[in-house]
Homo-oligomer: A and B are copies of this chain.
C-alpha cells in the first residue's frame, strides 16, 4: 500500500512515483488547489492536488483533519520561495494523482497542535489521538530504542533473558501488593510481583549465572509522586561476582546508552559513601549538577545563646547545617518567605538566613534576623563557608533527618530556580549504605531489602546491627535514583541473622521465605544484581516531565485508566467463582 513513509520523502525521490499513507494533519485551499499535510510516524509531507485530476481532487476536497488517506503521485520540488526549512521534507511536495480515502474521522476532541489547551484527563481519555503528536511518537520510539540497546548490551555480556511469574506470592519489598483471588484454591490469592527479586536469586541458585529481564512490577501505593501502579524494571543478576562487577556492568550500560542515543559521554561515575551524601547534600540521591553543599556548623552553633540552633547542635541526633548560595543575596523577602514555606513541607520549622552584603564591615555588613545571636561565632562561620559579598547563607537546625530533607530539597529547588546547573548530566554511585534504619521506637528495618549482604561478618552484624554497612549501591543521575542493587546474602546463617535482627521469627521465616532458605541450603553461589527503573530512565533521557509521557497507556493518580474505564464492575457470578463477595457499601459508608 505504501512505498515509503511520508516523513522520509526528500530530493533524492525527485520525479519518482511514490505511494504514501497517513493522516490529514492540515488542509488548505489556495488558488484553486488543495494542499494536504499528510502525516505518518516518520513525519509530514505536503501533498498538492489540483483540479486536473478531478477524481483525486474530489476526494481531497472531502478531506478533514485526521482523515486517513493513501496518496499516489510524483515527487517534485516545491516552487521557489515556498520551501519550508523547518520540515525535513520541506524542499519537496507530492503531486497527488490518485487519492484514496481509507477512513474518515469525526472532528477530533482536540487539534494535535493545540493539545496544551486540553486537560490531561481529556488527553488520556483520547490517548490514541494524543499519541499521534510527534513528541509523543518520538518518546515511545525512543523508549523502544532504549530497551533494544539494553538488551543487546546485556546479551553481549552473556545475560540470559528469563521470564519470571506475574502470578506469584507476596514479595517482601514492603509496599502493598496487588492481589488476585484464585478460583481453584478457595480463599487464596496470588500477588503481583513488586519485583522479581526472589525469583532472580533462585535463578542464580539454579546456575543460570547471568540473568536479565525487562520486567513489569506492581505496587498498590497511593500515587503521591510521579508513580504508576505498574512500572517497568530492567532487572539483572549475576553469580560469582562482587560489587565491582555489577557496578561495572551497569555503569557500562548507562554509558553506552547515553553515548549511542544522546551522543553524551557520561565518563567515569564518581562514588559517594551514603554518609557523605547525606552530610554534603542532605540526600542519598544528590543532584551533582548543582554546585551547592551543606556544611556542618554544629560545633560553632553549640556555643551560641540561641536555643533553636544550640539545641540541635548539642543533640546527638540533631544537626545544624548551612547552605551557602553564592551571589544569592539578591533574593527578595518574598522569595525567602516562599523558600521558608517550601522547607516547611519537609518538617522544618523555619529557615534562618544571612545575606552577606559587605563582609569587610563585620556584623554591620550582614543582613539577617538571627545574626544578633551569633556574634561570637560569626567570623569562623563565614570563614568556614568562604562567604563572599553578595552571597546568602541558609540554615537548617533540627533533627538531622529533617535538616537533611529540608536543606537537601532546598538545594535542588535553588538549583532549578536560579539555574545553577554546571552540566547537563551528573551521574554517580552512592555506596556504603547502612544495613538498617531505625524507626522512632528503635526498631530496625532493612534500608534496601532483607536479602542484601552486609559488608561485615554475621557476628559483627548481630553485635552492632545499627552500625553495619551493606554491600548495596544506587545509581543516581541528576538527583534521580535510576537504579539500585546489592550483593545478596548467599549464606543461610547470615540470612537467618538478618531475619532475627529484623524481628522475623523462625516460623515467619519459614512461612514467608521457606523456599529461599531451602535454596540457600542447597548450594547457593555468591551473587548480586541491580534493577533500573526503565520509565524514569526514559523520562530523564527524553526530558519528559512525567513518567506518564513515556508510557503508552498510563494510569491516573487514582490508579484508573480513563481510556478503557478500568477498573470496572464485575458480575456476581465472577465473584462467586473467586469465592469472594463485596463488603457491603452501606456498612462502610455508615
- State the CA gap A168–B127 with chains docked (Å): 15
Answer yes or no: A167 CB below 8 A from chain B CBs.
yes
A191 touches B566 (CB 8 A): yes
Residue A41 contacts which of B209, B241, B560, B566 (CB distance < 8 angstroms)?
B209
Interface membership of chain A positions 444-482, coded 1 if the CB is closer than 8 angstroms to chain B and 0 otherwise: 000000000000000000000000000000000000000
A131 touches B165 (CB 8 A): no
User: How far does the Cβ of A401 sit from chain B's closest Cβ, in whole Å?
Assistant: 28
Given that A207-B23, A588-B579 are contacting pairs, would A553 and B164 also be in contact in the complex, using a CB cutoff of 8 Å?
yes
A100-108, A284-292, A378-386, A403-411: which lies at the interface: A100-108
**A333: which B residues are within 8 A, CB to CB?**
none
Looking at the assembled complex, report how far the CB atom of A6 sits from the nearest CB atom of chain B, in whole angstroms: 11
Interface flag for A335 (CB, 8 Å):
no
Which of B23, B137, B170 has a CB less than 8 Å from the CB of A523?
B23
Nearest B-chain residue to A220, judged by Cβ: B183
Q: Is the CB of B561 within 8 A of A165?
A: yes
When all copies of this chain in the complex are counted, the total is: 2
CB distance from A131 to the nearest CB of B (A): 4
Contact with B along A130-150 (1 / 0, CB 8 A): 011000010011011001100
Collect the chain B residues with CB atoms within 8 Å of residue A578's CB: 179
In the complex, whether A390 has a CB less than 8 A from a CB of chain B is no
The interface bits of chain A over 164-181 (1 if a CB of B lies within 8 angstroms of the residue's CB, else 0) are 111111100000111111
Complex Cα distance, B108 from A421, in Å, reads 57
A331 beta carbon closer than 8 Å to chain B: no
A182–B374 Cα gap in the complex (Å)? Answer: 56
Candidates B23, B148, B198; contact of A155 at CB < 8 Å:
B148
- For A151, give its contact among B148, B186, B207 (CB under 8 Å): B148
Chain A to chain B: the 9 pairs with minimum beta-carbon distance, closest first? A105-B523, A131-B206, A188-B567, A66-B523, A169-B566, A182-B567, A169-B564, A21-B240, A144-B160
